[in-house]
Amino acid sequence: MKLVRRFLDWLYLFSGAAAGGFLLAIFVLMLLLSAGRPLGLNVRSGDEFIGWCMVAISFLGLAHTFRSAEMIRVGLLIDRFSGRTRWYFEIFSLAVGCFFTGYFAWFAYRMTYFSWFISEPSQGVIVVPIWIPQSGMSVGLVILFIAFVDELIHVLLGGNPHYEKPKPKTAEEALEQAIQSPV
């Protein structure tokens, strides 16, 4: 069981690191596009590559963000409950999340597989098999689905949700959480 837990934690961390790698790729491409113009350096299809990197960042970063309790969570309804009632709402919410992320992951995988199967090219100056940029979305959604199922099992077994930060007990803790919050 510890081996599975370590693998899943590594998977979420790897997914977040991959998103960071694509962010770095965007930085380099933007730098080349901006600094290259005065030097006569032309990065062909640079905008397309940046767009594909943005998609990869968005989807690959989801699972890590979810597990790190950094996703924006609206608890208007669920925060009104405690005890067993709250637990049922958590289970229901996670089950709905599993269903929808599984649904999107399945169809993203099917789209990527079909693009690979028919050798669909991209529509741009540099022709790239379109399944390559689609893979970032598909892999990110599959890892997010795994994270949702992992969290559902964890909460069903009595654990506290990882996606929820503990409530501050003192004014200093509340201030510290507000300072560290990205919002």
Examine residue 169 and state whether it is found in any structural domain, yes or no. Answer: no
pLDDT at 154 exceeding the cut of 80:
yes
pLDDT at 138: 97
Q: How many CB atoms lie within 10 A of CB 12?
A: 23
Q: Which of 75, 37, 30 is nearest to 165 (CA)?
A: 75
Distances (CA, A) of 180 to 23, 147, 171: 21, 24, 14
pLDDT at 74: 64
Examine residue 10 and state whether it is found in any structural domain, yes or no. Answer: yes
Task: Report pLDDT digits (tens) over 155-172.
Answer: 999 888 877 777 777 878
Which pTM does this prediction carry?
0.85
Q: Residues 88-115: what's their mean pLDDT?
A: 95
Examine residue 174 and state whether it is found in any structural domain, yes or no. Answer: no
Please state, in angstroms and rounded to a whole number, the distance separating the CA atoms of residues 134 and 107.
12
Please state, in angstroms and rounded to a whole number, the distance separating the CA atoms of residues 36 and 98.
45
Tokens of 167: 């409530």
Q: pLDDT above 90 covers what percent of the chain?
A: 58
Q: What angle do CA 22, 25, 28 make, to 5 degrees?
A: 160
Examine residue 180 and state whether it is found in any structural domain, yes or no. Answer: no
CB-side neighbour CA atoms (13 Å) of 172: 0
Please state, in angstroms and rounded to a whole number, the distance separating the CA atoms of residues 79 and 93.
13
Examine residue 55 and state whether it is found in any structural domain, yes or no. Answer: yes
Domain housing 131? 2-163
Sorting pLDDT into bands at 50, 70 and 90, what band is 123?
confident
Tokens of 18: 């991959």
Helix, coil or strand: residue 129 = strand
| CA distance from start to end of the chain | 36
Examine residue 148 and state whether it is found in any structural domain, yes or no. Answer: yes
Task: Report pLDDT digits (tens) over 35-50.
Answer: 888 887 888 888 899 9
The count of structural domains within the chain is 1
DSSP notation for 57-80: HHHHHHHHHHHTT-S----TTGGG
Q: Residues 95-112: what's their mean pLDDT?
A: 96
Examine residue 171 and state whether it is found in any structural domain, yes or no. Answer: no
Q: Residues 22-37: what's their mean pLDDT?
A: 91
pLDDT at 78 exceeding the cut of 90:
no
Examine residue 62 and state whether it is found in any structural domain, yes or no. Answer: yes
What angle do helix axes 131-156 and 2-39 make, rounded to 10 degrees? 150
pLDDT at 143 exceeding the cut of 90:
yes
Sorting pLDDT into bands at 50, 70 and 90, what band is 73?
low
pLDDT at 23 exceeding the cut of 60:
yes
pLDDT at 147 exceeding the cut of 90:
yes
pLDDT at 183: 53
Greatest alpha-carbon pair distance for the chain in Å reads: 66
